[in-house]
Amino acid sequence: MIPWLLGAAYINRQFLISVRHILRFFVGAIQTLYPFVIMSNPKSESVVSEPSASEPSIPISYPIKTLEDLESRSYFESFHYPFNKASSSVNNSSSSSLPNRRRLLVCHDMAGGYLDDKWIQGGTNPDAYAIWHWHLIDVFVYFSHSLVTLPPPSWTNAAHRHGVKVLGTFITEWDEGKAVCDTLLSTKETAHMYAERLAELAADLGFDGWLINMEVNLDLGQISNLKEFVEHLSLRMHSSVPGSLVIWYDSVTLDGKLNWQDQLNEHNKPFFDICDGIFVNYTWKEDYPRLSAAVASDRKFDVYMGIDVFGRNTYGGGQWNVNVALDVIRKNDVSAAIFAPGWVYETKQPPNFETAQNSWWGLVEKSWGILQKLPGVLPFYTNFDQGRGYHISVDGDNVSDATWCNISCQGFQPLLESSDPTNSIQVSVDLKEASYSGGGNITFKGSLEEQTYYESKIFQGEFLLTNLPIHFIYSVKSDGNSSLGLKLEFTSGDQRASVLLTSRAVNRFSSKFSKVIMTREHKGLSSGWVINEGVVAMNGYTLTEIHAACYRSNGNDETVASPSDYFALLGHITIKTSDYKSDFPVSSSWLVDGSYIKWTSDPLGSKTLDLKISWKLKNGQNFLFLKYNVYLVKLSKQADGNPGTTLEDVKEYLGVAQVNCFYVSDLEVPSDTSSLKFIIQVCGVDGTFQELDESPYYQLEVEDP
């Protein structure tokens, strides 16, 4: 889209699209004359062209640009294909049907797509765009102007973890799109075949369906096959991916004209009737949600009224007035589709991205009023990671100081209220503060007198407790006598109870809670982190909310700048039943292999290595693991001629994998190295991990000159 046309709020949409088409033509011409695409450097933010199918390189996500490539299934022959699969360990609630209420769809359209998020194993930009308000979202669409937009697995992993469905986009536009439709819709058989190709891609890569946007004029005789295409795609998606969706965009009408209706009516309802919903174009008038609801009847929640955040002729003007349109949509009890929420990021809204993002989504939350709850499935684990940052920690130890971004690494995101400067304690995710796991935390900073108490809600959910006690494990790092506990809210019928988990006595506050449970403290391996573990038995009760409880413990500490200064970090939370234990297969049960091995030498004897590492269990079983940390140990040659010993037992963190493979690129190998040991550390869904000395590994001898 075109940010510099923001002021033209009432320019005809067709004119805007025409301008966009002209710009795309010139950009394409420039790229043809001056090829500048960089494929090997994850620091680059340039647009990535479709990579070679067989040549190994840093794994990326990319779209399918031609109908020929879609038909031939060439994508599945690409080196990058296995890396693009979504993780199987994410929340299964994304496979259930959508709730029977109004819903919020978010369509991510940013500068052509495939920016920092294209680097599957992670990029280097700590300020990369991310979404962390998943509790407001039901459906996430990844959008670009390529023919077949495949969502990067990082978005699918993060969304699924929060129970949000993910759709790719199939779009035809302009003369090229008309030619595509002439082939696609030539016969009933071709329409079915291409629908099956799209369904196969979604099922194999692990996302949940498609947004269909046919922005071309069609011949009247092609409409019957277009309906065949949409209906067959819906049927194939439903049979192959439980809970999947096919959404029709309000574009071409039943008479073949590209004529945006801005509502559900007789001109586009035949398409609505054969799929799972309609994304209504965003230039609607105030009474169109009401009219659309009447046409949809008992399917009114499948009508998603579009809102363009850039404000291009959208009702209410979008931008910081997005709530105006949401209020009207909510009043008429239909669903909403927010287009391009990355406006906050792209236009650099002040004072900074994090603050502006929280404020903008705060408007959405206040207007929309529906919050998704955490999945009521144990174990539950989060490290508050936003999928970007300035360091990475494992079990309290800092393993990398490199800047990074990888949305796949997002943990469950907390429900933090927008910053209020009048609060005594400011609560935020501060990516520059220390982390217990990954690169996130919740930071509590401010002023708190000894006799006062402050709490902040961080989660809401529906965990039904049984006769098995529940273990709560959380990590805290604090200054002086700043103390941090967890307040748990329970319900059972009309009864309510609150339980405080704390490691310090709180006699002066105990009356605020139904029960106070003292936790056991375990000092972490890393200085400053303390692990707290408490056991709660509330059979028949449902855990509905988790709050952080800030207070001051008794005692004096000369290191505190002021008696009222408060500072604490919450590093992670794990909730699991007393009988749950991570089951890590022994190292010998794994088959770890290396392929695409490429050595490059320089005149001084140093080498660089490119390598794909793959692993699987020998018995073929598929365990559900959260992720795999990849480490390297360089074994050095000794002067006494005894190779294979380690001068320093240094385990170098290389990265993280969400699938059973990892690509090592341009690894520098010193001349005195005899072999390389790549360790695959298996991480459980409860946040625990296999000890490095017990983890599977792949050992590679260094190639002689």
Other beta carbons within 10 angstroms of residue 132's beta carbon come to 24
What's the 3-state SS for 464-489? Answer: ECCCCCEEEEEEEEECCCEEEEEEEE
Mean pLDDT throughout 593-602? 94
Query: Distances in Å between the alpha carbon of 135 and those of 31, 361, 373, 431, 476?
Result: 40, 11, 7, 20, 25
Q: Are 423 and 446 in contact (CB under 8 A)?
A: yes
- Name the CA radius of gyration of the chain, rounded: 27
Mean pLDDT throughout 97-117? 96
Per-residue pLDDT at 45 exceeds 50:
no
Q: Which residue type sits at 333?
A: D
**What pLDDT, on a 0 to 100 scale, did the predictor assign at position 624?**
81
Percent of the chain's residues with pLDDT above 70 = 88
pLDDT in tens, 194-247: 999 999 999 999 999 999 999 999 999 999 999 999 999 999 999 999 999 999
Residue 655: pLDDT band (50, 70, 90) is very high
Per-residue pLDDT at 639 exceeds 80:
no
Per-residue pLDDT at 43 exceeds 70:
no
Per-residue pLDDT at 462 exceeds 70:
yes
- Which domains does the chain carry? 67-91+103-120+130-368 (3.20.20.80), 380-577 (2.60.120.260), 587-701 (2.60.40.10)
d(CA 500, CA 534): 10
**Which residue from 217, 273, 271, 225 is spatially nearest to 248, judged by alpha carbons?**
271
Per-residue pLDDT at 41 exceeds 70:
no
Per-residue pLDDT at 40 exceeds 90:
no
Q: Are 525 and 539 in contact (CB under 8 A)?
A: no
**What pLDDT, on a 0 to 100 scale, did the predictor assign at position 1?**
40
Torsion, Cα 13 17 156 391, to 10 degrees, reads -110
Burial of 178 (0-12, 13-18, 19+ CB in 10 A): middle
Which residue(s) pair with 661 in the sheet? 614
d(CA 364, CA 338): 10
Mean pLDDT throughout 383-410? 96
Enter the tokens of residue 411.
């943990």
Q: Are 653 and 392 in contact (CB under 8 A)?
A: yes
- The Cα angle at residue 569 between residues 567 and 571, in degrees rounded to 5: 175
**What pLDDT, on a 0 to 100 scale, did the predictor assign at position 493?**
93
Q: What 3-state class would DSSP assign to 258? A: strand
d(CA 92, CA 121): 23
Q: Are 225 and 256 in contact (CB under 8 A)?
A: no
Q: Count how many residues are written for the chain.
A: 705
Q: Which residue type sits at 474?
A: Y
Burial of 53 (0-12, 13-18, 19+ CB in 10 A): middle
Q: What 3-state class would DSSP assign to 681? A: strand
Buried (b) or exposed (e) across 619-628, using 16+ Cβ within 10 A? Answer: eeeeeebbbb
Other beta carbons within 10 angstroms of residue 78's beta carbon come to 20
Mean pLDDT throughout 141-165? 97
**What pLDDT, on a 0 to 100 scale, did the predictor assign at position 466?**
86
Per-residue pLDDT at 2 exceeds 50:
no
d(CA 19, CA 3): 12
Per-residue pLDDT at 583 exceeds 70:
yes
Per-residue pLDDT at 9 exceeds 90:
no
Mean pLDDT throughout 159-187? 97
Mean pLDDT throughout 632-654? 72
Per-residue pLDDT at 552 exceeds 80:
yes
Q: Are 323 and 367 in contact (CB under 8 A)?
A: yes
- Taking all residues of the chain, what is their mean pLDDT, rounded to a whole number? 89
Q: How far apart are the first and last CA of the chain?
A: 52
Residue 441: pLDDT band (50, 70, 90) is very high
- The answer to which of 117-131, 306-320, 455-469 has the lowest mean pLDDT is 455-469
Per-residue pLDDT at 249 exceeds 50:
yes
Mean pLDDT throughout 481-496? 95
Q: Which residues are within 8 A (CB) of 427 and not within 5 positions of it... i.e. 6 or more apart?
A: 416, 417, 419, 442, 443, 444, 456, 548
Q: Which residue has the higher pLDDT, 564 or 277?
A: 277
Mean pLDDT throughout 173-192? 98
- The answer to which of 368-372, 532-536, 684-688 has the lowest mean pLDDT is 368-372
For residue 435, which phi and psi values (nearest 5 degrees)?
Answer: -125, 145
Mean pLDDT throughout 572-579? 94
Per-residue pLDDT at 30 exceeds 80:
no
pLDDT in tens, 528-550: 899 999 999 999 999 999 999 99
- Number of helical H runs and strand E runs in the chain: 11, 32
Other beta carbons within 10 angstroms of residue 701's beta carbon come to 12
d(CA 286, CA 326): 11
Per-residue pLDDT at 134 exceeds 80:
yes
For residue 57, which phi and psi values (nearest 5 degrees)?
Answer: -160, 175
Residue 562: pLDDT band (50, 70, 90) is low
Mean pLDDT throughout 86-100? 73
CA atoms within 13 A on the CB side of 178: 9
Mean pLDDT throughout 492-500? 95
Q: Which residue has the higher pLDDT, 76 or 90?
A: 76
**What pLDDT, on a 0 to 100 scale, did the predictor assign at position 75?**
96
d(CA 130, CA 353): 10
Per-residue pLDDT at 584 exceeds 80:
yes
Mean pLDDT throughout 132-143? 97
**What pLDDT, on a 0 to 100 scale, did the predictor assign at position 488?**
97
The secondary structure of 32-64 as a DSSP string is: HHS----SS-TT--SPPPPPPSSS--S-B---B
pLDDT in tens, 274-331: 999 999 999 999 999 999 999 999 999 999 999 999 999 999 999 999 999 999 999 9
DSSP secondary structure letter of residue 649 = -
Mean pLDDT throughout 70-86? 97
**What pLDDT, on a 0 to 100 scale, did the predictor assign at position 37?**
33
Q: Are 165 and 94 in contact (CB under 8 A)?
A: yes
**What pLDDT, on a 0 to 100 scale, did the predictor assign at position 558?**
44
d(CA 152, CA 118): 6
**What pLDDT, on a 0 to 100 scale, did the predictor assign at position 250?**
98
Q: Which residue has the tokens 């054969």?
A: 274
Buried (b) or exposed (e) across 446-469, using 16+ Cβ within 10 A? Answer: bebeeebebbbbbbbbebebeeee
Other beta carbons within 10 angstroms of residue 71's beta carbon come to 14
Q: Which residue type sits at 286?
A: E
**Which residue from 409, 355, 364 is spatially nearest to 387, judged by alpha carbons?**
409
**What pLDDT, on a 0 to 100 scale, did the predictor assign at position 34?**
34
The secondary structure of 545-602 as a DSSP string is: EEEEEEEE-SS--TT-SSTTEEEEEEEEEEEEETT----PPPGGGEEEEEEEEEEEE-
Q: Which residue has the higher pLDDT, 602 or 325?
A: 325
d(CA 383, CA 394): 10
**What pLDDT, on a 0 to 100 scale, did the predictor assign at position 31?**
37
Q: Which residue has the tokens 């006598």?
A: 481
For residue 518, which phi and psi values (nearest 5 degrees)?
Answer: -80, 130
Burial of 544 (0-12, 13-18, 19+ CB in 10 A): middle
CA atoms within 13 A on the CB side of 622: 5
d(CA 252, CA 281): 11
- The answer to which of 431-445, 556-570, 647-661 has the lowest mean pLDDT is 556-570
CA atoms within 13 A on the CB side of 23: 14
**What pLDDT, on a 0 to 100 scale, did the predictor assign at position 14?**
55
